[in-house]
Each structure stands twice: as structure tokens, then as C-alpha cells.
Amino acid sequence: MTFHSLAAFWLILPLVLILAWVLWKKRTKTPTLQFGSVELLKSVSPSLRSRLMHLPMLLKGVALIFAIIALARPQTTNTKIRKNVEGIDIVICLDVSDSMLIEDMKPLNRLEAAKETIKKFIEARTSDRIGLVVFAGESFTLVPPTLDYQLILQRVGEITSASSAKIKDGTALGVSMANAAGRLKDSQAKSRVMIFMTDGENNSGTIDPETGLEIAKGYGIKVYSIGIGKDGPTRIPVYTRDIFGQKIKTYQPFESAVNDDLLGRMASETGGKYYRATNEGALQKVFNDIDNLEKTKIDVNKFTSYTEEFPPYLVMALITYLIAILLGRSWLRRVP
């Protein structure tokens, strides 16, 4: 309960002072009789009527307090909040070619760094549909855009490299872009976003990157492209098994190269942004930046209705005051 006019409670202070003054004045003006001895009077106890002689005055004070509470206008409130959420549809397109196993990012390699960063990004979203597409020499949809974040996180944790998943190795940029765009083409969201992550150049697939880019542009999809890893000579881990079936890891030379020009155009021509992430810290900053750029719009409308609760206090004030007058003019009437 709230009070519309709290200042009304200041009236209680002068009321208390007036009641105290009236009671004090009545006491000083009480008629007296002189007796030679009061020993006999000490044995006489006061009657109930005499004990309640000041009750009418006190009831009038209580009635005035009820009236002051009514004057303060007690109210109950009923607040309703309506949220209008404009979610964003996002498809994360992740390169899982064997080059993503290069161990130049923590906690283990490029692929694991990307997976950890994607998980943190998903956990930070609340009202956006998120989908997941992976690609190497071919492209697959792991999860279509959905609000089931637990499912997405589970599937991200299950992602492995092309060789482990026994799919064609390579980097099919055009095919993967077209696949991701296809998942967003029927979206009703006002903002459709593709986060495209790769560490290589297009060398596979039946759709060239230019065609994939035109498809994304045609559907009004904004692309945030991320080039992962450093360019130049490096080593890629290769896993084999010995005669006893034990897994052995060896390394072979590899020339890592990211097509900055293509990834840059994918972003600029769709209204997105291109990032280069050469370590796990930079990759996390990229996703933080995307998270800030693609904020879900939430409009909050708050409606509050007020119900006046003063009538009962006004009725109690009236009843109490009438009782005080009735008692003062009948049973508790004082006759000089």
C-alpha cells in the first residue's frame, strides 16, 4: 500500500499536542471536596464509569487519526510490464577443416579456441534464435536457428575436425555461405546475421564465394567475417596409429593463409565488419564487439493502476466519532 499525500500525516503531531493539552486542562479544573480524613475513601475503588471518563475524548482522537489516514489517500497499485522483444536471427558458420587443428591458440588449437568463444557468445544471448553451420570441403547444418540454447551448446561441444568427422577436407567458402544464407532466408527477424569463421582460402565446393556472397546480399543478411590464425609457414598435426593401435601425433609443414580480401568484401558489401583474430584473446574481443553491435531491442512499457483505499478509514473515523459522542452524552456524561 502506498499513500498519495504523505504530508497529511504531519497533522497527527498537532492533534496529539491538542489532546494532551485538553486532558491536562480538564485535570486542573476538576472540582474538589475537602475532608477531614481520607482513610475511609482509600478503601473505595474507582468505578468502571470513572475509569472510562476520558474515553470519549480518546475516541475522538482516534477518529481524527482515521480521518488523517483517509486524507493521506492510501492506495493499492497494480503494475503490469509489457516487453516487446525484437530478436535477432544469427547463424554461426564455422570452418572445421583440418587446418583448424593448428596449435597456435589456447586452450589447444584454433578449433577449440573458436568453440570456447562461441559457447560464451551463445550464453550471453537471451532472445535471439541462433543456428550453427560447419564446413570443410562440404557444408552441414548442425542446428537450424533456434532458441534452444542448451541444444546449441551441446552440439558446439561435439564439433570435431573434418578428418575426425570423416567428411571431405578443404575449405568450401561459397557452399558454406550459401548454406548459412539458406537457413536465414525465411527469417522474420528484422536483423539477420551471419558470423563466418575460417582460417583458409576457398579451394573446394560447387558454389564459388562470389555466388555465395550474392545469395547473402539478396536475402539482406549482414555478415561478420573472422579470419582466424596467422599467415605463413606453420605445422599441422597429423594423427596416425602404430602397429599396436596406439594414436600417434606427428606434424607436417603447412602454409597458412587467410583470404583477407574476400572476407573483407563479404563484410563490407553486406553492412557487417571484418576481423582478424590471431590469438584466443583477439577472438574473444571480436565476439564481444559483435555482441555489442548486435544488441536485441527490448521495449518495456509499464502500466500502473491505482485503487483508492481511503473509504474504509473514513467510515471508521465517522463510526468512532459517533460512538464517542454517544458515550459522552449518555453513560459517560459528566454533570458538574
What cell numbers appear for 33 in the block? Answer: 471536596
Check if CATH label 3.40.50.410 holds for domain 88-295: yes
What cell numbers appear for 243 in the block? Answer: 602397429
Is pLDDT larger for residue 29 or for residue 159? Answer: 159
pTM across the whole model: 0.68
Q: Is the pLDDT assigned to residue 276 strictly greater than 80?
A: yes
- The reported pLDDT for the residue numbered 298 is 56
Mean pLDDT of all residues in 321-330: 84
CA–CA separation, 291 and 121 (whole Å)? 7
Q: Is the pLDDT assigned to residue 44 strictly greater than 70?
A: no
Mean pLDDT of all residues in 170-176: 96
Q: Is the pLDDT assigned to residue 30 strictly greater than 70?
A: no
Q: Which of 100, 165, 163, 170 is nearest to 138 (CA)?
A: 170
Upper half-sphere CA count for residue 224 (Cβ side, 13 Å):
20
CA–CA separation, 191 and 193 (whole Å)? 6
DSSP-derived 3-state class of residue 302: strand
What residues contact 198, with CB distance under 8 A and at least 6 apart? Answer: 95, 171, 173, 225, 226, 227, 228, 258, 263
Full DSSP string of 66-115: HHHHHHT-EEEEEEEEEEEEE-EEEEEEEE-SGGGG-SSSSSSSHHHHHH
Q: Which of 328, 333, 334 is nearest to 61 (CA)?
A: 328
- The reported pLDDT for the residue numbered 313 is 85
Upper half-sphere CA count for residue 114 (Cβ side, 13 Å):
34
- Grid cell 502500466 is found at 303
Instruction: Domain ranges for the chain, please list them.
Output: 2-31+38-79+304-328, 88-295
Of the pLDDT bands very low, low, confident and very high (cuts 50, 70, 90), residue 326 is confident
Is pLDDT larger for residue 328 or for residue 309? Answer: 309
pLDDT digits (tens, 9 = 90+) for 240-261: 888 888 889 999 999 999 999 9
Is pLDDT larger for residue 67 or for residue 299? Answer: 67
Is pLDDT larger for residue 55 or for residue 205? Answer: 205
Share of the chain above pLDDT 70, in %: 88
Asked if 335 contacts 91 with a C-beta cutoff of 8 angstroms, the reply is no
Q: Is the pLDDT assigned to residue 18 strictly greater than 60?
A: yes
Query: CB neighbours (10 Å) of residue 290?
Result: 18
